[in-house]
């Protein structure tokens, strides 16, 4: 079965939701008094941030290993944002 390529705008929205959601959940985990809940929220937040950074790196045409910056959230997000875009955009038609 063929894998469909998603629209970059859709991937960018998913990426933003994952990065912002992961950051919010990560900070909310600091407020939890239940230790097991705090650890599980931290793991979920880390997974969301790392996968969001994976999508961000792919949108910029970078290697998937750049997703490691998700572990350094939120400072890693700044590093990814400052990376130069290497994605080869198709030429736009002359209308």
Say if 51 falls within a structural domain: yes
* Distance in angstroms (rounded) separating the CA atoms of residues 50 and 91: 31
Say if 43 falls within a structural domain: yes
Report pLDDT for 83. 86
Say how many domains are in the chain. 1
Report pLDDT for 73. 78
- 62 Cβ partners below 8 Å, 6+ apart? 83, 86
Check: CB of residue 77 under 8 Å from CB of residue 19.
yes
Task: Report the SS3 class of residue 3.
Answer: coil
Say if 3 falls within a structural domain: no
Say if 49 falls within a structural domain: yes
Say if 94 falls within a structural domain: no
Say if 91 falls within a structural domain: no
Check pLDDT > 70 for residue 2: no
pTM of the model: 0.80
Sole residue written with tokens 């992961």 = 22
Domain residue limits at 16: 8-80
Residue of 68, 65, 87 lying closest to 77 (CA atoms): 68
pLDDT in tens, 37-86: 999 999 999 999 999 999 999 989 889 898 898 888 788 888 888 888 88
């Amino acid at each position: 079965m063929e894998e469909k390529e998603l629209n970059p705008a859709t991937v960018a929205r998913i990426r933003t939701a994952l990065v912002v959601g992961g950051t919010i959940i990560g900070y909310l985990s600091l407020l939890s008094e239940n230790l097991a809940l705090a650890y599980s929220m931290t793991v979920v937040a880390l997974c969301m941030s790392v996968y969001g950074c994976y999508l961000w790196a792919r949108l910029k045409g970078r290697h998937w290993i750049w997703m490691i910056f998700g572990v350094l959230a939120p400072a890693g997000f700044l590093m990814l944002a400052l990376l130069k875009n290497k994605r080869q955009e198709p030429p736009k038609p002359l209308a």
